[in-house]
Every structure is written in C-alpha cells, then in structure tokens.
Amino acid sequence: MPDVRLVNVTKTYGKIVAVDNVSIHVHDKEYFALLGPSGCGKTTLLRLIAGLIKPDKGEIYIGNRLVNDVPPEDRDVGFVFQTFALFPHMDVWDNVIYGPRVKGFDMKKAKRIGHEVLEMVRLHERLDAFPNELSGGMMQRIAVARALAAGAKLLLLDEPLGQLDAKVRNELRYEIRKMTKDLGLTAIHVTHDQAEAMAISDRIAVMKKGKILQVGTPEELYMNPKSIFVAHFIGESNFLEGYVAEINDKTITVELRNGIKVETINKTTEELKKGERVVIALRPETLKVQREIRKGKNAVLGVIERMTFEGTNVRYEIRLENEDLVILTRPSLTGKWYKIGEKVTVSFPSEKAHIFTYPKVGLREELAVE
C-alpha cells in the first residue's frame, strides 16, 4: 500500500503548462484530494501518476520505486474516471474479472478475487447485469471493484462522482472512502467541489493554474489559508481592501476606504510594509452583526442590502461604510431578522482576520475560477 511522491514534476502541452513544478507527498493509506477549478491540471497530474502520460521534468515515485519509465500496467494503480469506463458489452462479472484475466491469473484465482471485490462493493447480486442496466452509483462501485480486482494498491479517482445526482454523490463519497480505508489503500481523488474534498479527505492539495498552492487537512486549509485564493476556494470569505497604516510585531492596522481603520494580529508570513495595498479575509462566521450603532475597535457601520431566507439560515449582504460588501448567514430560528435598509454595526476579532498583499492581477482576477 504505497505512498506517492512527486518531485518538481512539470508537464506542458505546447505553451500550456498543465502541471507546473509540482512536489507533493501522498502518504501510505492516505485519502488525498486534488482540488481546484476547471483546467488547473488535476487530471493531468493523475494521468502522470498513472503513467498514461510522461512528465517533461521531475520524478514520480510510487512506494520507493522511481516509476517515470514504468508502464501503467506495472504500477499497481487503479484508475476510476468521471465518465463510467465499464465495457458496455460485458456484464458486471466479466467487467470485474477482466483485470485478473488479462494478468494471466488462473480461473480459480480470478473467480475468488471477483467474488471478494463484488462482496466489498455490495453488488454481488447483480453479476449478470450489463452497465446500461445499472444506476450511476452502481456503475461507479463496479468501476472501483474492477480496479481492486486488477490488484490496485493505489486508487486514482478522477471526479468519480461528477455525473451522479447530489444524494447519490453524498452517499457514495463516504462509501468509497470507507472502502479504501477498510482495505488500507492509498487514494488520490480529483474534484473541483470543495465540500466533497472537505468531507472525505485526510488532506487536500489546492491547485491553481498547474501549481499547488497549499496542502493541508481540511481544518488547516480553512483555519489558516496561506493565500487569498485558498481563503476563497475553501469555504467562504469576505474581503476588505485597504492599505497598511501601521505595522509592528504584534498588530497591523489597515486603513480601508473612507478612512476606516481596522486592526489585525500580525501573523502573516508575507513581508508587508507601511503603505502597502492589502486585502483582509474574514470568514462569515467570525463577523458579528448588531443593531446598535457603535464605534470601536474593528467596528464598521453598514446597511443591509439584501436578505435571503434559505430555510435553516438567513443570508445577509451588508454594504459597509468603506464600500466593501460582506456576506454572512445567521440561523433563521431566532426570528429576529434584519430588514433591507436597516443600519447595523459589523465587527470582528483582530485574530480572526487574515491579511494578504493585494494581488498584482487585481482581486477579482485572482479569485476567478475560470
């Protein structure tokens, strides 16, 4: 049950750098997600690990073996694609024991493996079904079973739940995770759905434009995003634009538009200077809203611009006096909802604010996922 290590791996297609100098270490038995917007290089990275394509630069290790020149069939890797890649003219049983057969196992061994993996994915009673007679969720379970039967120690899953409806998706994602954990497999799961990545992964690598921005547990990425993009892509963030007014070892004071000043704790690893343009990221749940109009530390006045009843929560969009818009939800149970046009005070604790250099390409462009 191998670990996977990529060292400075690059793959280009003409002028497109699909994977840009990526180094990651996926641990043995880990459920690891590659998360990022469309076109960021997730599938390319997976195909490199599977051996379906070769890197231009860098090394790929599976276990302790350098596999750059090892063909896909000798890597003990199972690939599960977004589009169901079962053989349509074969029934479930033949699909599943295809791997053991082409590996030249004797029939007895191939059958034993086939029964084992079908028990595992609980589709034993559907041996005779053809792929077009199965639901999407079942087909994906067969695809996993087929990979396991072929001897995969490492499962590579490329948006395996992408084609399924929301309910099946939610169930199947836990099932796939549980199956790999029970079998002690290592899994690398590609998705562009942050909720899915958060729900199933031990660790997540956030990718953008071929690069890995940050690797961490869901909690680490949420609590301590190291870039504006990660703060935006994992969970939700509100952004306030401003300039560094004062900076010392402990705190950074930021002047927002219209002369509003707020303070953050200085825990940034970026080298910020006085006068530098910055962005403050705030998780919606760290913002406090009050009817009472008050001035004070990190208290900014605002007006409720939009209110949406979402069932469990009420969602507010609040235009602050510095002109930035913040979004937050509150439980709808309280019944004490704010109304459109109502004046409020929004405040936040200094330690909850993350501060970043203003992106060179502009904030909107930096956060764009296309």
Ligand X SMILES: Nc1ncnc2c1ncn2[C@@H]1O[C@H](COP(=O)(O)OP(=O)(O)OP(=O)(O)O)[C@@H](O)[C@H]1O
Instruction: Report the nearest approach of ligand X to the CB of residue 161 (Å).
Output: 13
Number of residues that bind Mg ion (CB under 5 A): 1
Contact residues for ligand X, defined by CB under 6 A: 13, 16, 18, 36, 38-44, 192
Nearer residue to Mg ion within complex by CB, 142 or 190:
190
**β-bridge mates for residue 189, sequence order:** 33, 157
Indicate which of ligand X, Mg ion, none lies near residue 218 (CB less than 5 to 8 Å, by partner kind). Answer: none
Residue 171: alpha-carbon gap to chain centroid: 18
User: What is the full DSSP assignment across 38-50?
Assistant: TTSSHHHHHHHHH
Structural contact between residues 234 and 246, judged by C-beta atoms closer than 8 angstroms = no
Indicate which of Mg ion, ligand X, none lies near residue 39 (CB less than 5 to 8 Å, by partner kind). Answer: ligand X
Cα distances from 218 to residues 24, 82, 182, 187, 197, in angstroms, run 16, 23, 21, 16, 8
Structural contact between residues 188 and 32, judged by C-beta atoms closer than 8 angstroms = yes
**β-bridge mates for residue 57, sequence order:** 10
Nearer residue to ligand X within complex by CB, 16 or 102:
16
Nearer residue to Mg ion within complex by CB, 43 or 214:
43
Cα distances from 295 to residues 184, 271, 287, 347, in angstroms, run 56, 30, 15, 10
Indicate which of Mg ion, ligand X, none lies near residue 44 (CB less than 5 to 8 Å, by partner kind). Answer: ligand X
The 3-state DSSP composition of the chain as helix, strand, coil percent (nearest 5) reads 30, 35, 35
The C-alpha atoms of residue 335 and residue 158 are separated, in whole angstroms, by 43
Q: Where are the alpha helices (DSSP H) in 202-340?
A: 218-223, 228-233
Indicate which of Mg ion, ligand X, none lies near residue 361 (CB less than 5 to 8 Å, by partner kind). Answer: none
Residue 267: alpha-carbon gap to chain centroid: 25
Nearer residue to ligand X within complex by CB, 173 or 283:
173
Instruction: Report the nearest approach of Mg ion to the CB of residue 37 (Å).
Output: 10
Nearer residue to ligand X within complex by CB, 13 or 309:
13
Nearer residue to ligand X within complex by CB, 159 or 324:
159
Structural contact between residues 225 and 231, judged by C-beta atoms closer than 8 angstroms = yes
The contact mask relative to Mg ion for 10-49 (x = CB under 5 A, - = no) is ---------------------------------x------
Instruction: Report the nearest approach of ligand X to the CB of residue 279 (Å).
Output: 25
Structural contact between residues 148 and 96, judged by C-beta atoms closer than 8 angstroms = no
Indicate which of ligand X, Mg ion, none lies near residue 302 (CB less than 5 to 8 Å, by partner kind). Answer: none
Instruction: Report the nearest approach of ligand X to the CB of residue 156 (Å).
Output: 12
Nearer residue to ligand X within complex by CB, 180 or 191:
191
Indicate which of Mg ion, ligand X, none lies near residue 40 (CB less than 5 to 8 Å, by partner kind). Answer: ligand X
Torsion of CA 259, 260, 266, 268, to 10 degrees: -80
**Residues in 153-182 that interact with Mg ion by CB under 5 A:** none
The C-alpha atoms of residue 9 and residue 252 are separated, in whole angstroms, by 37
Instruction: Report the nearest approach of ligand X to the CB of residue 145 (Å).
Output: 24
214 binds Mg ion (CB under 5 A): no
Instruction: Report the nearest approach of ligand X to the CB of residue 82 (Å).
Output: 8
Instruction: Report the nearest approach of Mg ion to the CB of residue 367 (Å).
Output: 21
Nearer residue to ligand X within complex by CB, 44 or 95:
44
Map residue 267 onto helix, strand or coil. Answer: coil
The C-alpha atoms of residue 29 and residue 149 are separated, in whole angstroms, by 18
Indicate which of Mg ion, ligand X, none lies near residue 192 (CB less than 5 to 8 Å, by partner kind). Answer: ligand X
Instruction: Report the nearest approach of ligand X to the CB of residue 35 (Å).
Output: 10
Interaction site with Mg ion (CB under 5 A): 43
